[in-house]
């Protein structure tokens, strides 16, 4: 009977196991194997040993790319994905509590529009907003006040990629934080109000401790997501000017599929990708140990004043 139960469990898990193997395990193994080759546009598997990994240490561009990636990931994460997302969640929950749920719903839907918009459409909208001529939205507003047009993509490229990606990331945090905030029992807030705590006091001593798990989860998840994201940077700046907005994942993409800097160097590109996988694995372990996710699976605690 036990053997039959195990067999039925295996049959139930078989479709998921097959999907995981075909779309994750096999491509991962092929990518790792390709990183030890000199594969190019001819698609010939020529074994090169550790040549591609040695080349990473000789690549003079990678130091700039690395620091671009650090600034992009943690700048977007801290300014928008966590901080601004939390502010949006607090604002919408306050509107829902004090005014109208419909108004709060409209506000959340408005901030979710960028996430629902296809990347190319979202990028084109921003290209119009940041157009260096007077036809752009921002420069059109400057023109009303007699100011000269600004080439936003050339003068402030790093700020542009952080803001454009952060607006999308903030909506993810907003939904998660809002769900956590609205699930908090009102008895806690009522008790704090009786003790004389204002809205900010309740946020500090009740809301934030009770959404700590969600805050840490968004931090960890969005870090890994930002490490591999590059599509909006590709659309807006292409990694330029002069590598100023080229992040690690975009650099690997350009090495593999061409672009402004290289073309069809699949072996070196996959080596860069494997290093990025290593970065992600190390970040995951660090977050797991520092944030102590296993300990937070129990009932959260409230900070006592």
Is residue 31 a part of any domain in this protein?
Answer: no
Q: Summarize pLDDT for 117-153 with one digit per residue, the tens.
A: 899 999 999 999 999 988 889 999 998 888 889 999 9
Is the separation of the CB atoms in 39 and 266 below 8 Å? yes
Residue 246: the pLDDT is 93
Number of Cβ within a 10 Å radius of residue 79? 15
Residue 99 contacts by C-beta under 8 Å, 6 or more apart in sequence? none
Is residue 260 a part of any domain in this protein?
Answer: yes
Residue 39: what are its φ and ψ, rounded to 5°? -60, 135
Q: Summarize pLDDT for 271-305 with one digit per residue, the tens.
A: 999 999 999 989 888 888 887 766 655 544 444 44
- The residue that leads in pLDDT, 206 or 57, is 57
**pLDDT for residue 23 is more than 80:** yes
Nearest to 252 by CA among 233, 232, 221, 228: 228
**pLDDT for residue 249 is more than 80:** yes
- Where do we find the tokens 């008895």? 187
Is residue 51 a part of any domain in this protein?
Answer: no
Is residue 5 a part of any domain in this protein?
Answer: no
Is the separation of the CB atoms in 273 and 31 below 8 Å? yes
Residue 116: the pLDDT is 87
Residue 189: the pLDDT is 73
Q: Summarize pLDDT for 176-205 with one digit per residue, the tens.
A: 998 888 888 877 777 877 777 777 777 787
Residue 82: the pLDDT is 92
Task: List the domain range (segments joined by +) for residue 204.
Answer: 60-297
Is residue 15 a part of any domain in this protein?
Answer: no
Q: What is the CATH number of the domain that holds 288?
A: 1.10.3720.10
Q: How many domains does the chain have?
A: 1
Residue 270: the pLDDT is 92
Is residue 123 a part of any domain in this protein?
Answer: yes
Is residue 265 a part of any domain in this protein?
Answer: yes
Is residue 29 a part of any domain in this protein?
Answer: no
pTM: 0.85
With vertex at residue 177, the alpha carbon angle to CA 170 and CA 205, rounded to the nearest 5 degrees, is 125
Average pLDDT over all residues of the chain: 86
């Amino acid at each position: 009977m036990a053997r039959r139960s195990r067999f039925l469990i295996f049959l139930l898990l078989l479709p998921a196991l097959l999907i995981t193997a075909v779309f994750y395990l096999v491509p991962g193994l092929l990518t790792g194997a390709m990183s030890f080759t000199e594969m190019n546009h001819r698609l010939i598997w020529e074994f090169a040993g550790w040549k591609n990994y040695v080349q990473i240490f000789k690549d003079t561009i990678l130091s700039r790319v690395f620091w671009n990636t650090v600034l992009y990931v943690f700048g977007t994460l801290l300014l928008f994905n966590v901080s601004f997302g939390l502010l949006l969640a607090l604002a919408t929950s306050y509107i829902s509590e004090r005014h109208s749920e419909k108004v709060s719903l409209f506000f959340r839907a408005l901030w979710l529009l960028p996430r629902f918009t296809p990347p190319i459409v979202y990028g084109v909208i921003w290209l119009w907003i940041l157009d260096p001529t007077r036809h752009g939205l921002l420069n059109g507003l400057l023109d009303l006040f007699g100011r000269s047009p600004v080439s936003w993509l050339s003068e402030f490229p790093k700020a542009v990629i952080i803001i454009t990606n952060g607006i999308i990331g903030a909506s993810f945090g907003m939904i998660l934080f809002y769900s956590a905030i609205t699930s908090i029992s009102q008895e806690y807030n009522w008790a704090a109000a009786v003790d004389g705590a204002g809205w900010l006091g309740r946020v500090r001593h009740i809301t934030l401790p009770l959404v700590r798990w969600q805050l840490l989860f968004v931090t960890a998840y969005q870090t890994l997501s930002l490490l591999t994201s590059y599509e909006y940077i590709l659309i807006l700046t292409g990694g330029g000017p002069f590598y100023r907005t080229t992040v690690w994942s975009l650099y690997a993409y350009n090495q593999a599929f061409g672009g402004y800097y290289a073309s069809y160097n699949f072996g070196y590109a996959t080596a860069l990708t494997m290093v990025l996988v290593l970065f992600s694995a190390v970040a995951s372990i660090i977050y797991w140990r520092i944030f102590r996710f296993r300990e937070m699976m129990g009932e959260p605690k409230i900070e006592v004043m």
